[in-house]
């Protein structure tokens, strides 16, 4: 691909001074592609972790245990009311400094690297919002539906897993879409702890080639396309999972 587009962008750089170096320099191209790939992996892991936390937290919030509900409420207050970048720095520099290290045969590496801490910190941050989103979905499930399941002999856990959660997921999809898109954009904060995602990769390129404006355009286009893809996937899910009589 680079062989096809490189002549055009080389000419653009020589004649107009517009330097999209990843499209004509093989080294910058490899950094650009690697940055995009790591961003996709980072965002996927963050979204997966936040969804797991959201489901477990919503289940805990609707449990009969008062202690469990208090613990989840405290978690939401802490992580929803502090900036995500502060949480990221706290996890990486605060907890990262006291986590065990692994002997790599002459030197020691932390058991959790920058990528792992970015997933944990931003995933937990997004999970705090997902708990509330899933809780609103759980509360929207008609009470008589749960009563019917109880009449059939379902336990509380089975009612939550097989009845309440699937219906709640449908109800909360619009709000969930907003939070997932927000998390995808928040993932760029991983740049501050040197996770080599797209922002970090492009920052290295513009530091070497002094083409800040062009790289900012690429960064904007990357996130616009990424968010558009996520929105389309969530919209597809919303249409496929729609049930007549439940929010339709």
pLDDT value for 244: 67
**pTM passes above 0.85:** yes
pLDDT value for 74: 94
Residue 26 Cα distances to 14, 40, 81, angstroms: 17, 21, 44
- Is the CB of residue 176 less than 8 Å from the CB of residue 133? yes
φ/ψ of 211, rounded to 5, equals -115, 60
What is the percent of the chain with per-residue pLDDT over 70, rounded to a whole number? Answer: 98
pLDDT value for 156: 80
The answer to whether position 197 is within a domain reads yes
> Pick from 119, 111, 148, 151: which is nearest to 50 by CA?
119
pLDDT value for 195: 94
Predicted confidence (pLDDT) at residue 184 exceeds the cutoff of 70: yes
| Residue 246 pLDDT level (bands cut at 50, 70, 90) | low
pLDDT value for 245: 62
What is the CATH number for 150? 1.10.3720.10
pLDDT value for 247: 54
Could you tell me the residue range of the domain that residue 35 belongs to?
28-241
pLDDT value for 111: 87
The answer to whether position 23 is within a domain reads no
Residues paired with residue 246 on neighbouring β-strands, in sequence order? 243
Residue scoring higher pLDDT (29 or 96):
29
The answer to whether position 1 is within a domain reads no
Among 6-20, 23-37, 92-106, 219-233, the least confident range: 92-106
The answer to whether position 223 is within a domain reads yes
The answer to whether position 158 is within a domain reads yes
pLDDT value for 150: 81
Predicted confidence (pLDDT) at residue 236 exceeds the cutoff of 70: yes
Q: 113-133 in b/e burial notation, b at 16+ Cβ within 10 A?
A: ebbbbbbbbbbbbbbbbbbbb
The answer to whether position 39 is within a domain reads yes
Taking only the tens place, the pLDDT of each residue in 60-72 is 888 888 999 999 9
The answer to whether position 190 is within a domain reads yes
Total domains in the chain come to: 1
Taking only the tens place, the pLDDT of each residue in 4-62 is 888 999 999 999 989 999 999 999 999 999 999 999 999 999 999 999 999 999 888 88
Farthest CA pair distance, the chain: 77
pLDDT value for 86: 94
Residue 162 per-residue DSSP state: I
The answer to whether position 246 is within a domain reads no
Taking only the tens place, the pLDDT of each residue in 129-177 is 999 999 988 888 888 887 888 888 888 888 888 888 888 888 888 899 9
Structure-block tokens of residue 191: 């740049």
């Amino acid at each position: 691909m680079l062989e096809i587009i490189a002549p055009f962008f080389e000419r653009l750089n020589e004649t107009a001074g517009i330097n999209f170096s990843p499209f004509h320099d093989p080294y910058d191209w490899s950094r650009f592609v690697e940055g995009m790939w790591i961003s996709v992996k980072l965002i996927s892991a963050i979204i997966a972790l936040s969804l797991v936390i959201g489901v477990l937290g919503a289940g805990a919030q609707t449990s009969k245990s008062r202690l469990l509900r208090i613990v989840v409420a405290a978690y939401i207050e802490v992580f929803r009311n502090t900036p995500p970048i502060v949480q990221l720095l706290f996890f990486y520099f605060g907890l990262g400094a006291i986590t065990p290290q692994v002997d790599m045969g002459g030197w020691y590496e932390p058991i959790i690297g920058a990528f792992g801490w970015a997933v944990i910190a931003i995933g937990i941050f997004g999970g705090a919002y997902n708990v509330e989103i899933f809780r609103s979905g759980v509360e929207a499930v008609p009470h008589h539906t749960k009563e019917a399941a109880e009449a059939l002999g379902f336990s509380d856990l089975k009612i939550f897993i097989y009845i309440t959660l699937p219906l709640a997921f449908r109800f909360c999809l619009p709000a969930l879409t907003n939070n997932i898109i927000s998390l995808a954009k928040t993932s760029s904060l991983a740049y501050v702890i040197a996770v080599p995602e797209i922002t970090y990769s492009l920052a290295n390129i513009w530091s070497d080639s002094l083409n800040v404006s062009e790289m900012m355009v690429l960064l904007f286009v990357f996130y616009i396309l990424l968010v558009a893809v996520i929105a389309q996937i969530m919209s597809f899910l919303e249409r496929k999972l729609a049930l007549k009589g439940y929010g339709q």
